[in-house]
Homo-oligomer: A and B are copies of this chain.
Amino acid sequence: MKKFINKYENLIEEMVEGYVLANSDKVKRLPTERVLAYSNAPIQGKVGVITGGGSGHKPAFIGYIGKGLLDTVAVGDIFAAPPVQRCYEAIKAADGGKGVLVCIGNYSGDTMNFGMAAELAQDEGIPVEILVVNDDVASSPKDRMDNRRGVAGEVVLWKMMGALAQEGADLATLKEVGNRTIFNTRSLGVAHTPCIMPSSGKPSFQIGDDEMEIGVGHHGEPGIQRTKLMSADEVTTLITQKILEDLPFGAGDEVSVLMSGLGSTSLLEMYICYRKLHQILTDHQITIHRNYIGEFFTSMEMGGFSITLTKLDEDLKRLIDAPCDGVHLIQH
């Protein structure tokens, strides 16, 4: 296994230590040690916007801590949802008197741990709402949408909710706009190279030297279609088509695009794919209001990328355009 790590047992602790040392202007560590918070959190009079999840997805989740983004994050082990205590502490530390919005991906580990933590916090009088992102169109048919995984679309929700909370909106408004964001957000990814699990040194999935798989989850969960490696244009066309059909997106729509590399796929390739995506959306008379191209939600060194489209209304345009000052996402 070619990774620069020390003892596996200390992996998460050392990463968190390094992260806090590097970003002490924006981030602080809470007593439970695996919960990180924006230095100014809790912000009185603002709804706390938080998340949490397994590690190995950097810059997600902790890279989105900051002004106009996330207030706290509960950090799990590699690909493992954080336990209840951390989730609970993350909720408590984000509450500035107006309650807390938990924005997580649709994984039973995350929903159960945050669900139990939310109950504890609610028992103490903190209003908590949980939004569950299910943007991965590959992970269940449309009639079982509530079973779909949350993937890079989570970043879009954090951006929107961080901005809306910053505007001073209340928890009910956040929940309403958040659900609208989730409903309007669809993603699909492709991977050709697994990540290596640092615990075992083994690849997260098996795949042939000339193969790729559409719909692989960002923990290496199997996707929907295994094929020979396609060209940039072919793969972008295939992914975009499946996303467009799913909402469906149509002529006249305005969207945001988030193209996130999974780890080892280069920005060079992503821009080649973006070129095709732009052509396809233009052909469909869909306007790209804003784009994000880079690594936003990775799977360590996995090879591949995902495309996330969000259909925007006036609210969502305002929110995606709002400035933010996160550790790994800064917007003027």
Chain A residues engaging chain B, CB cutoff 8 angstroms: 2-6, 11, 14-15, 17-19, 21-22, 55-56, 58-59, 63, 192-193, 209, 212, 229-233, 235-236, 263-276, 278, 291, 293-295, 298, 300-301, 303, 305, 325, 328, 330-332
Counting from the closest, the 7 A-B pairs by CB-CB distance are A18-B275, A264-B264, A18-B271, A58-B267, A18-B274, A4-B232, A264-B301
CB neighbours (8 Å) of A298 from chain B are 266-267
Contacting residues, chain B, for A272 (C-beta < 8 A): 4-6, 11, 14-15, 18
11 intermolecular pairs with C-beta atoms under 8 Å apart: A2-B229, A11-B268, A14-B272, A17-B275, A21-B274, A56-B266, A58-B271, A263-B264, A263-B266, A267-B298, A332-B332
Identify the closest chain B residue to A275 (Cβ): B18
Given A3-B266, A5-B231, A18-B274, output 6 extra A-B contacts at Cβ < 8 Å: A4-B232, A6-B232, A14-B271, A18-B278, A55-B268, A301-B303
Question: Known contacts A278-B22, A301-B303, A332-B325; is A56 also within 8 Å of B268 by CB?
Answer: yes
Residue from B11, B58, B274, B331 in contact with A22 in the complex, judged by beta carbons closer than 8 Å:
B274
Nearest-neighbour CB distance to chain B for A137, whole angstroms, equals 19
| Residues B192 and A2 in contact, CB atoms below 8 Å apart | yes
A92 to chain B, nearest CB (A): 25
Contact between A4 and B295, CB atoms less than 8 A apart: no
Decide: A2 and B294 in contact? CB cutoff 8 A.
no
Which residues of the other chain, B, contact A267 by a CB distance below 8 angstroms?
A: 58-59, 63, 295, 298
Known: A2-B303, A266-B300. A294 touches B328 (CB 8 A): yes
Q: What residues of B have a CB within 8 angstroms of the CB of A6 in the complex?
A: 231-233, 272
Q: Is the CB of B18 within 8 A of A273?
A: yes
Q: Collect the chain B residues with CB atoms within 8 Å of residue A4's CB.
A: 230-232, 235-236, 265, 269, 272-273, 305
Docked pose: A136 CA to B253 CA in angstroms: 49
Q: Which residues of chain B are near A303, meaning CB under 8 Å?
A: 2, 264, 301
Q: Please give me the residue from chain B that is nearest to A230 by CB atom.
A: B4
Indicate if the CB atoms of A22 and B291 lie closer than 8 Å.
yes
A105 to B295, CA, bound (A): 26
Complex Cα distance, B330 from A328, in Å, reads 10
What separation, in Å, do the CA atoms of A9 and B264 have in the docked complex? 22
Question: Known: A15-B272, A18-B273, A275-B21. Is A58-B266 also a contact (CB below 8 A)?
Answer: yes
- Residues of B within 8 Å of A278, CB to CB, are 18, 21-22
Tell me which residues across on chain B come within 8 A of A58, comparing CB atoms. Answer: 266-268, 271
- Do B269 and A3 touch across chains, with their CB atoms under 8 A apart? yes
Q: Which residues of B contact A330 (CB under 8 A)?
A: 330-332
Q: Point out the residues of chain B lying under 8 angstroms from A263, CB to CB.
A: 264, 266
